[in-house]
Amino acid sequence: MNEPGETTASAGSLRWQQLFWPQSLTEATAFGLLRYFAARTHAPQLILEARADVTGVEYLIGSQLRHRAAVRRAVEQLVDGAIVTSFDAADRNHVTTARRVQLSTNLRQLEPVDAVASQRSILHALTAVGTGEQLTIQIVLGPRHHPQSSSRQPVRDNQAIVSKLLHGVLTDTLPGASQAAAHKLGQHAFTAAVRLGVQAATAERRKVLLTGLAAAIGTAESPDVRVMLRPEKSDRVNTPRAS
């Protein structure tokens, strides 16, 4: 049965569904679901959101209309106890300020010392919102990367342009660089964009909420990998594109 507006919507238009996770959701199960989507050659683009207001945190997943049923089946079958329901896009309240999360290097991955503690810190930061406020984490899962071997010394990905002109492209000589690159390249993965969005009455309050959330995400930092915030257009969070 079609929902209102679906009969006139194109198959490539973005549709949202709400995720209800079981209390027993483990890190291994969550990563297993992501690997399933990453391993698919023609996998759909997915947009994951955690949106918090004074009533709590809701979890959304966006995909093209033609992929919606397959996404729902995958989540409910691969995550025992998960429930996926329809969600009206009109209920996605817009944010007024946004930031993009950027890592100091793409050659190493975030590996928190205590993943559970980092998860709790992020949830705590999300639930710091008050009446009329909203805080959002948006993750756009883009192109897939299949496992590959790393046969060469990794290059220094944060080398300045002037340095490249004067000295050429330098290799990463930090301890464990080759092992870290091999570990990251040897897994199914996505090119992902991570954005934060906030709605609050004043600029100062928006800053407090965003920096608090960024600090919580920063608890997942690992050696030589820092979490940084960069300016982002709020429209990127409010109206992400389906592709």
Between 197 and 223, the higher pLDDT residue: 197
- CA 55 to CA 195: how far, in whole Å? 22
Tally the domains of the chain.
Answer: 1
For 155-192, the pLDDT digits (tens) are 555 555 655 455 455 465 555 555 555 445 546 567 78
DSSP bridge pairs for 193: 140
- Is residue 183 in a domain? no
For 117-130, the pLDDT digits (tens) are 999 999 999 999 99
pLDDT-based confidence at residue 31 (cuts at 50, 70, 90): confident
- CA 153 to CA 170: how far, in whole Å? 10
DSSP 65: G
* Mean pLDDT along residues 75-81: 96
pLDDT-based confidence at residue 15 (cuts at 50, 70, 90): very high
- Is residue 150 in a domain? no
* Mean pLDDT along residues 209-228: 90
> What's the confidence (pLDDT) of residue 9?
42
- Is residue 168 in a domain? no
- CA 187 to CA 116: how far, in whole Å? 22
* Mean pLDDT along residues 61-74: 94
Between 39 and 200, the higher pLDDT residue: 200
- CA 154 to CA 108: how far, in whole Å? 10
| Residue 38 predicted with pLDDT over 70 | yes
pLDDT-based confidence at residue 73 (cuts at 50, 70, 90): very high
Sequence-separated contacts (24+) of 125-129 with Cβ below 8 Å: 125/209, 125/212, 125/213, 125/215, 125/216, 126/50, 126/52, 126/57, 126/213, 127/52, 127/56, 127/57, 128/209, 128/212, 129/52, 129/53, 129/54, 129/200, 129/209
- Is residue 75 in a domain? yes
- Is residue 85 in a domain? yes
> What's the confidence (pLDDT) of residue 148?
63
- Is residue 149 in a domain? no
CATH number at residue 129: 3.40.462
pLDDT-based confidence at residue 4 (cuts at 50, 70, 90): very low
List Cα–Cα distances, 189 to 34, 36, 207, in angstroms. Answer: 8, 10, 31
User: Which has the closest alpha carbon to 231: 131, 74, 112, 100?
Assistant: 100
- Is residue 126 in a domain? yes
Its pTM stands at 0.78
Q: Return the structure tokens found at 12.
A: 């490539």
Half-sphere exposure of 47 (CA within 13 A, CB side): 22
| Residue 228 predicted with pLDDT over 60 | yes
- CA 186 to CA 189: how far, in whole Å? 9
- CA 240 to CA 69: how far, in whole Å? 20
Domain that holds residue 205: 9-95+116-142+188-217+231-238
Q: Are 81 and 30 in contact (CB under 8 A)?
A: no
Bridge-based pairing state of the strands 227-232 and 46-53? unpaired
> What's the confidence (pLDDT) of residue 8?
39
- Is residue 25 in a domain? yes
List Cα–Cα distances, 128 to 53, 80, 109, 153, 162, in angstroms. Answer: 9, 30, 27, 44, 43
> What's the confidence (pLDDT) of residue 39?
82
Q: Return the structure tokens found at 188.
A: 């199914």
For 43-59, the pLDDT digits (tens) are 778 999 999 999 999 99
